[in-house]
Structure 1
């Protein structure tokens, strides 16, 4: 775990990141990582100086099991409410199967599972996330209901989820083998480039902790 901004921590869970945000009234978690890592997440909560019961909200970026794997157990342990986009909710709640497309997802599907969990707050686009000071930004492409979140303090902290990645010193769109709509995904990164933020955190790749929006604008300028 490392601190990436005031009251914001990046938690490494294998090859994926979750993020903790200290807010008035407790803690918010962005995504939950892969299954079987609930103790790691709870240890991260206490390492910030908070109690487990202080975790009151989970903001999901999207429905993929490497981001929702620990959700059900974490919800049982903390009672945290869950926020997600309407387009991804049926998969998160187990009402529809996880769509599998491309060779990589077919190969990993048997090993990547997430227990279904209820979603308490269903969003349908840009606007309030349900947590004061955090805005939701609809960034479809990787999945139809992908959301990014913008923490509106400390110059802005963007939680891009898998809408974008940081690789070899560049912002890139979500990887083609696991992205449902490449055109929408490209437009979503360019949409993020129109926002104002100093720090950008990613589901995959280390956070950029200064001048992050400039890196997104460089992506947009590349066409």
Structure 2
């Protein structure tokens, strides 16, 4: 994983080709937002140690949702020590391996992209992960040193997708609900179970007007962030908002 400083000595991107993780460094320990693909734990540990910490300094893991490229290494990280794993209560059964997400609703242009990416993904589900804290919209997470994160329910990508908002620091972790393309374009995240709800969740996050937006896919946005998020939300296709549930099988 490439280690990229986003906020000096406090926030780092642990970049991967698929599924970024983020590390918040507090005075009382480290908070990891998502864990990347299966097999990422050793590289996360290397990044933690490169910053002068121990893997046992990871105190909590905040999961934005239960897809394999975000929870893939959570079970291993949770075994490093006294680690609290948190996810939305509507996502917890998926994270624990007790349930599956509903089917995706793909726009025509997404289907080829999905097939390409899906072909590179693990065929086995991620290792089940215990969830120590089931979060709801508005719950507050202590990151240490007086810094708090607020859980923001952002359903649509999955039913229990969460964003994490640090109001004082004006930082937003979006998971896969918002993404950034290789050319820098900010966009609604792809491969959603409920596109209209995903669009509404993007608009909700835009209204938070963060200074820094950290995406599950794509580089963090650190300049003109609120404006660029608002512009992306304004570009949301009416087609997205008008999509309905997929037809039921006969």
* TM score, norm. by length of structure 2: 0.81
Instruction: Tell whether 2:168 aligns with 1:166.
Output: no
- Structure 2 residue 28 is the aligned partner of structure 1 residue 25: yes
Asked if 2 retains the 8 angstrom alpha-carbon contact of 1:59 and 1:83, the reply is yes
After superposition, where does 1:179-190 map in structure 2 within 5 Å? 179-190=192-203
Counterpart check, 1:113 vs 2:113: no
Distance in 1 (CA, whole Å) between partners of 2:17 and 2:209 is: 30
For 1:65, the equivalent position in structure 2 comes to 68
Higher Cα radius of gyration: 2
Q: Taking structure 1 as reference, are residues 110 and 220 closer, same or farther at Cα in structure 2, changes over 3 Å only? A: closer
Per-residue deviation, 1:94: 1.3
- Provide the C-alpha distance between the structure 2 equivalents of 1:76 and 1:50, rounded to a whole number of angstroms: 17
Q: Distance in 2 between matches of 1:221 and 1:107?
A: 29
Instruction: Report runs of 4+ in structure 1 exceeding 6 Å deviation.
Output: none
Which of 206, 218, 221 aligns to 2:219? It is 206
| Alignment check: 8 A CA contact 2:68 2:126 kept | yes
| Alignment root-mean-square deviation, CA | 2.0
Distance (Å, rounded) in 2 between the aligned partners of 1:114 and 1:13: 17
For structure 1, the residue ranges without an aligned partner over 5 or more in a row are none
In structure 2, the residue corresponding to 1:78 is in which secondary structure? coil
1:3 alignment partner, SS class: strand
Q: Provide Cα deviations, 1:116-151, integer angstroms capped at 9, x if missing partner.
A: 011001012133135451111111100011001112
Give the secondary structure class of the aligned counterpart of 1:91. Answer: helix
Instruction: Work out whether residues 123 and 129 of structure 1, in 8 Å CA contact, stay in contact via their aligned partners in 2.
Output: no
The runs of 5 or more residues in structure 2 that have no matched partner are: 237-250
What is the CA-CA distance between 1:157 and the residue it aligns to? Answer: 1.2
Instruction: Return the offset for 1:107.
Output: 4.8
184-193 vs 75-84, which moves further = 75-84
Matched, 1:157 2:171: yes
Q: Distance in 2 between matches of 1:129 and 1:65?
A: 23
Say which is worse superposed, 184-193 or 124-133, in terms of deviation: 124-133
What secondary structure sits across from 1:215 in the alignment?
helix
